[in-house]
């Protein structure tokens, strides 16, 4: 996912997040996904290409 794709990205929190601001947010694109800390979105993000995102999800579900 490139920086230009993030310019108009719709960031969303998990439906399992609580009422607080202590979770991660994701933005999806056809080239991958990005993840950031909802408490500090300006601090940076993890960017994944499509294959990397799939690998990340599999590992997270374990």
Give the global pTM: 0.74
Question: How many other β-carbons are positioned within 10 Å of the β-carbon of residue 25?
Answer: 19
CA separation (Å) from 48 to 1, 2, 36, 43? Answer: 6, 9, 12, 17
pLDDT value at position 14? 77
| Mean pLDDT per 10-residue section of the chain, whose length is 62 residues | 68 77 84 88 90 93 88
8, two tokens: 């108009």
């Amino acid at each position: 996912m490139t920086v230009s794709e993030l310019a108009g990205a719709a960031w969303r929190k998990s439906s399992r997040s609580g009422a607080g601001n202590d979770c991660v947010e994701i933005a999806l694109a056809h080239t991958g996904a990005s993840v950031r800390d909802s408490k500090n979105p300006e601090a940076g993000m993890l960017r994944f290409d499509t294959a990397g995102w799939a690998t990340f999800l599999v590992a997270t579900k374990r």
